[in-house]
Amino acid sequence: MIRISAVELRRVRLPLVHEFQTSSHAKKSLEHILVTLTSDDGTAGWGEIASPSGPFYSAETVESCWAVARDHLAPLVLDQEWDHPAALATAMAKVRGNQFARAGFDMAAWSLWSAARSTPLAQALGGTRREVEAGVSLGIEPTIDDLLAQVAARVGEGYRRVKLKIAPGWDTEPVRAVRSAFPSVPLHVDANGAYTPAHLPILKELDALGLLMIEQPYVPRALVDLAELQAGLQTPICLDESVEEVDDLITALRLGSGRILNIKVSRMGGLTPAVRAHDLAAEHGVPVWCGGMHEFGIGRAANVALSALPGFTLPSDVSGSDKYYARDVTTEPFVAHDGLVEVPSAAGLGREPDENFIVANTTGHLRR
Ligand code: OSB
Ligand code: MG
């Protein structure tokens, strides 16, 4: 049995190398919370709470995550004995919602558990790949020329597919421009819930552009409307914000609200539910890929390990660290070569936190 004797939370702020804008929010820097769980025998596990600062992607914020982590998750984890991360995740599921906050703790539990068993995290999760295919997610740019320059740079670096953020007013025109400049690049769009059934004519135009998928066209809970939309489109709908719980996926599969699933460790509350979503999607023949929240190296290690599972048959949003940060929180960054990211083969997370760099960028710290 494992017993956690210390929990540490650190808020760390890093500037993005390139400002990122979606239909729901814009950001120049990120503040994520690093979670360290230390067991009785001194083994440490690291996790990352990757919530955006404002409640525009999900209901969570850095402040809400900090409060829930400090007042609910840390005491709960210090009180438990567990033999597998799934057992701790079951205990933490007493906390409703707050997936980003729970994900940081669940990730740290998996990291600790796999390190204690001298097993690479990917293998502990059931991963089978040695490298994963990386796609890139491009924000809304000031002009179409700026967007084309971004696409050219990323395609030049070898990324396997390009995802474009869209919003009403920034959709068919930029997508057509990218499509005609890069006719053979696998392309998909992500609306972050910005459209409604009233926008059907635009969605039909996008449907004719040969996209891999249209990600989250409607608001998260519009599962019935999404099913109606999917029935009238050739292009698969990919669900992101709609699936916060495995039960949301059960509903979406029953209704036919989409044909592809973006699994985000953060959005679903950790690696434990992410693996369950992967297994359920696989049973239904639904391809999955791993989405990102601009994670630092700790959360990125979890994303890369998860992407090694067999159902992740589409390129994931696991770009190299350099696409986001001049310097990462791990001593070794993640690197994409020819659109592939190597799955760490060392025990545990496979990346070491760069403690000096973390301390230098810490904006808040607590130990329990
Ligand atoms: O919808 O996938 C999204 C970033 C912030 C909020 C929402 C999303 C994203 C991304 C980032 O697309 C992808 C990445 O981490 O590379
Ligand atoms: Mg998305």
User: Which CATH number is 58's domain given?
Assistant: 3.30.390.10
**CB of 57 closer than 6 angstroms to any ligand 1 atom:** yes
The whole-number pLDDT of residue 24 equals 85
Of 266, 294, 295, best ligand 1 pocket probe by most atoms within 8 Å of the beta carbon:
294
Q: Does 179 lie in the same domain as 308? A: yes
Q: Does 157 lie in the same domain as 274? A: yes
- Residues 266 and 213: their CA atoms lie apart, in Å, by 22
Q: What is this structure's pTM? A: 0.97
- Residues 204 and 78: their CA atoms lie apart, in Å, by 52
The whole-number pLDDT of residue 321 equals 94
Residue 161 within a domain: yes
Q: Does 142 lie in the same domain as 103? A: no
Q: Does 190 lie in the same domain as 102? A: no
**CB of 291 closer than 6 angstroms to any ligand 1 atom:** yes
Transcribe 96-117 into DSSP letters: -S-HHHHHHHHHHHHHHHHHHT
Q: Does 162 lie in the same domain as 217? A: yes
Relative to the alpha carbon of 135, which ligand is closest? 1
Residue 327 is encoded by which pair of tokens? Answer: 């310097």
Q: Does 7 lie in the same domain as 103? A: yes
CATH of residue 204's domain is: 3.20.20.120
User: How many structural domains compose the chain?
Assistant: 2
**CB of 293 closer than 6 angstroms to any ligand 1 atom:** yes
Q: Does 186 lie in the same domain as 222? A: yes
The whole-number pLDDT of residue 25 equals 86
Taking the CA atoms of 191, 194, 197 and 201 in sequence, report the sign of the dihedral they define. negative
Residue 349 within a domain: no
73-50-271 Cα angle (round to 5): 65
Helix locations, 95-245, DSSP H: 99-116, 121-125, 144-157, 172-181, 200-207, 223-232
Q: Does 337 lie in the same domain as 191? A: yes
- Residues 53 and 368: their CA atoms lie apart, in Å, by 24
Residue 96 is encoded by which pair of tokens? Answer: 């409703």
The whole-number pLDDT of residue 243 equals 98
The catalytic residue positions are 165, 264
Nearest to 173 by CA among 192, 189, 157: 189
pLDDT means over runs of 10, the chain (368 residues) = 97 96 91 98 97 97 98 97 97 97 98 97 98 97 97 95 97 98 97 98 97 98 98 98 98 98 98 98 98 97 98 96 95 95 97 97 97
Q: Does 164 lie in the same domain as 111? A: no
- Residues 221 and 76: their CA atoms lie apart, in Å, by 30
Domain span at residue 51 reads 2-118+355-367
- Residues 140 and 127: their CA atoms lie apart, in Å, by 33
